[in-house]
């Protein structure tokens, strides 16, 4: 961490307002155009402009800005209709005080254009964050400091529920508010070990009394379960909610305790309590289907069983009074999942005609970000499948500390120290793979995209000597360069955690790249992980006289879509062929 960067941080991060408009319409419609909201009484009526101050990169009405869309709502919508369409709540964001990220869009003209996006990065001064609300009072427990709006849920046409997060995101407050101001209720939840929720707190699902609600939260042991919250108590139930008549339906990985599985469960509810859960998919097509979901008819008489693997995906219509006849095919598994330790899992894909007496090159696919999961039973056809089947490369993935679906203790192990345990565990996994006897220890590579590119770079820069090569696509170089909402959720602000910020940088490990083959890839128009990140890695490598390969994709964003995607995998394949070439 270097103080010279602090002066570039924004003076203000957000200014938010939640507005509630009263409508007298039948089947009303709303849309956003040029950051203003328009209403129509019906599909053929003339539109009425509701807001007039919308302006790109300054005032957003009804749509989030970049960081709210990416890190808070996971949606590009910020308007919420009441159940009968009587009221419309919408978010107004004022970004006039937010520092812009700028990058060139080259296009085909004589001069490139410059793109400006308000993008709040981690900030040193807590007073830089401001928020204001109209018609609703922000709870004092969060309103006294910097905070975020997380969810807006209409309970009835006159009752609204809003979730608030403090800037640290280690607690959440759910506020139930009646439009006439006569009824208030606040329910808070605080994490004991890290941030709240998986990435962020789950939305509430309200019961028939319009005041109690269901919500997925961590229990006392740190595992995500469905809770029922009423006026006086919180009752633990189970994971994920389909609240239909007398039953609860949920999807869980609890069967046999395997985090990579998903099955559908049913609980019968009565006034005296609930019965033990019944698994509806655990015994169906077990060789083929171990990762399942469901899509229900309106009255839950039928559901579509969605099987995603490990065999070919299968969709079967099921009668809720008994299973419907479905297509049953037996396919051999494309991979197997076994223990690395009592808590951590890995996954391997073997080439055709695999012979354990031979030595194979190994490529490790990594993501490793907080709450992520690489190890599951989902069937996929991807670049790794080609490498395994055609290039005869063993493909492995590993979920270490920091990963999700194994409880908060494992997930929160990297809280406040990104770039530590999730990196160390990947290195430990490589050693375990070598011990299996069929891995060529001189031909081991790793690759990842985004956070996976960051972990790959940190592993290569660790100086472990285990890897011959690595590929980092759109990696983070320093967390000071990334957005405030994501980074501070896991790392707090730099002034609170300066040593961890310093230890989490790729650039400080540049000298250790001399003994590995490194491929750095980035899009020049990446609005998420900015090209600045790759530029700083490249600069550090050059300053340390490290030879490396690099590929940039002009005017491409974080996804490197279109023809760039085809070019990317062809280019990476050539890089790996060189890395895994046997010495003669």
What tens digit of pLDDT does each residue of 392-419 get?
999 999 999 999 988 899 999 999 999 9
pLDDT band at 7 (very low <50, low <70, confident <90, very high): very low
Residue 351 CA, chain-centre distance (Å), reads 31
Task: Look at residue 238 and tell me whether its pLDDT is greater than 70.
Answer: no
User: What mean pLDDT is reported for the chain?
Assistant: 83
pLDDT (mean) for 422-439: 94
pLDDT band at 134 (very low <50, low <70, confident <90, very high): very low
Summarised one tens digit per residue, pLDDT across range 277-304 is 778 888 777 888 888 888 888 777 788 8
Task: Look at residue 561 and tell me whether its pLDDT is greater than 60.
Answer: yes
pLDDT value at residue 237: 43
Please tell me the pTM assigned to this model: 0.85
Compute how many other C-beta atoms are within 10 angstroms of the C-beta atom of residue 272: 6
Q: Is 335-579 a domain of CATH 3.40.640.10?
A: no
Burial bucket for residue 260 (CB in 10 Å: 0-12, 13-18, 19+): buried
Give the bridge partners for 579, in sequence order.
Answer: none
Task: Look at residue 16 and tell me whether its pLDDT is greater than 90.
Answer: no
Task: Look at residue 25 and tell me whether its pLDDT is greater than 70.
Answer: no
pLDDT band at 19 (very low <50, low <70, confident <90, very high): low
Contacts 24+ apart (CB under 8 A), 432-438: 432/340, 432/346, 433/346, 433/362, 433/364, 433/396, 434/466, 437/356, 438/354, 438/355, 438/356, 438/357, 438/358, 438/359, 438/360, 438/394
**138 vs 515 pLDDT, higher one:** 515
Summarised one tens digit per residue, pLDDT across range 239-261 is 333 333 467 777 887 755 678 88
Task: Please give the share of the chain, as a percent, with pLDDT higher than 70.
Answer: 84
Summarised one tens digit per residue, pLDDT across range 151-201 is 999 999 888 899 999 999 999 999 888 877 666 777 888 898 999 999 989
3-state class (DSSP) for residue 219:
coil
Q: First-to-last CA distance in the chain?
A: 45
Write out the two tokens for 526.
């990446």
Supply the residues annotated as catalytic. 450, 526, 558
Most confident of 20-24, 111-115, 170-174, 186-190: 111-115
DSSP per position, 43-84: TTSPPEE-----BTTTEEESS--HHIIIIISSSS--EEE-TT
pLDDT value at residue 186: 79
- What separation in angstroms does the CA of 532 have from each of 195, 453, 461? 28, 15, 19
**527 vs 214 pLDDT, higher one:** 527
**15/133 Cα distance (integer angstroms):** 9
Q: Give the domain ranges of the chain.
A: 1-135, 335-579
pLDDT band at 572 (very low <50, low <70, confident <90, very high): very high
Summarised one tens digit per residue, pLDDT across range 44-86 is 889 999 999 999 999 999 999 999 999 999 899 999 998 888 8
Most confident of 233-242, 329-338, 487-496: 487-496
pLDDT value at residue 324: 43
- Phi and psi, residue 46, nearest 5°: -75, 140
pLDDT (mean) for 547-573: 96
**221/412 Cα distance (integer angstroms):** 13
pLDDT value at residue 181: 65
**45/29 Cα distance (integer angstroms):** 10
pLDDT band at 582 (very low <50, low <70, confident <90, very high): confident
**336 vs 260 pLDDT, higher one:** 260
Look at the block and give the residue holding tokens 């699902």. 205
pLDDT value at residue 279: 83
pLDDT band at 8 (very low <50, low <70, confident <90, very high): very low
Task: Please give the share of the chain, as a percent, with pLDDT higher than 90.
Answer: 51
Compute how many other C-beta atoms are within 10 angstroms of the C-beta atom of residue 106: 12
- Phi and psi, residue 272, nearest 5°: -90, 0
């Amino acid at each position: 961490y270097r103080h010279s960067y602090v002066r570039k941080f924004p003076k203000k991060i957000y200014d938010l307002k939640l507005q509630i408009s009263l409508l007298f319409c039948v089947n009303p419609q709303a849309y956003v155009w040029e950051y203003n909201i328009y209403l129509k009484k019906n599909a053929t009526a003339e539109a009425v402009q509701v807001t007039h101050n919308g302006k790109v990169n300054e005032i957003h009405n009804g749509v989030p800005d970049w960081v709210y869309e990416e890190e808070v709502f996971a949606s590009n919508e910020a308007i919420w209709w009441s159940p009968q369409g009587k009221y419309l709540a919408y978010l107004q964001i004022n970004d006039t005080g937010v520092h812009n990220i700028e990058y060139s869009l080259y296009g085909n003209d004589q001069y490139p254009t410059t793109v400006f996006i308000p993008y709040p990065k981690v900030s040193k001064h807590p007073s830089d964050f401001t928020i204001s609300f109209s018609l609703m009072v922000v709870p004092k427990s969060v309103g006294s400091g910097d905070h975020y709006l997380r969810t807006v849920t209409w309970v009835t046409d006159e009752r609204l529920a809003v979730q608030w997060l403090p800037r640290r995101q280690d607690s959440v407050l759910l506020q139930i508010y009646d439009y006439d101001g006569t009824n208030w209720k606040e329910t808070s939840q605080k994490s004991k070990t890290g941030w709240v929720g998986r990435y962020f707190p789950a939305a509430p699902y309200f019961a028939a009394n319009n005041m109690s609600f269901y919500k997925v939260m961590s229990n006392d042991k740190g595992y995500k379960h469905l809770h029922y919250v009423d006026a006086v108590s919180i009752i633990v139930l189970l994971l994920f909610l389909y609240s239909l008549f007398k039953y609860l339906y949920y999807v869980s990985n609890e069967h046999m305790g395997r985090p990579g599985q998903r099955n559908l469960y049913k609980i019968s509810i009565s006034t005296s309590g609930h019965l033990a859960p019944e698994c509806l998919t655990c015994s169906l097509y077990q060789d083929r289907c171990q990762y399942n979901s469901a899509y229900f008819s309106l009255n839950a008489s039928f559901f579509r069983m969605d099987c995603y693997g490990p065999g070919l995906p299968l969709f079967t219509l099921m009668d809720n009074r008994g299973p419907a006849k479905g297509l049953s095919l037996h396919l051999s598994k494309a991979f197997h999942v076994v223990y690395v330790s009592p808590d951590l899992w890995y996954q391997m894909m073997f080439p055709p005609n695999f012979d354990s007496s031979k030595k194979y090159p190994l490529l490790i696919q990594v993501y490793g970000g907080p709450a992520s999961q690489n190890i599951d039973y989902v069937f996929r056809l991807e670049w790794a499948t080609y490498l395994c089947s055609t290039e005869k490369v063993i493909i492995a993935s590993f979920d270490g500390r920091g990963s999700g679906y194994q409880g908060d203790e494992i997930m929160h192990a990297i809280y406040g120290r990104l770039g530590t345990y999730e990196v160390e565990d990947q290195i430990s996994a490589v050693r375990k793979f070598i011990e299996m006897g069929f891995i060529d220890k001189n031909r081991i590579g790793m690759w990842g995209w985004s956070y996976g590119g960051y972990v790959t770079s940190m592993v290569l820069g660790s100086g472990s000597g285990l890897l011959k090569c690595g590929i980092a696509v759109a990696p983070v170089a320093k967390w000071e360069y990334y957005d405030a909402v994501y980074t501070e959720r896991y790392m707090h602000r730099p002034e609170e955690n300066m040593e961890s910020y310093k230890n989490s940088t790729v650039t400080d490990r540049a000298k250790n790249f001399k003994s590995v083959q490194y491929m750095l890839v980035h899009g020049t128009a990446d609005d998420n992980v900015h090209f600045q990140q790759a530029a700083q890695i490249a600069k550090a490598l050059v300053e340390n006289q490290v030879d490396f390969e690099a590929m940039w994709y002009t005017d491409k964003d974080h996804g490197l879509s279109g023809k760039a995607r085809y070019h990317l995998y062809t280019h990476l394949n050539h890089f790996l062929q060189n890395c895994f070439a046997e010495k003669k």
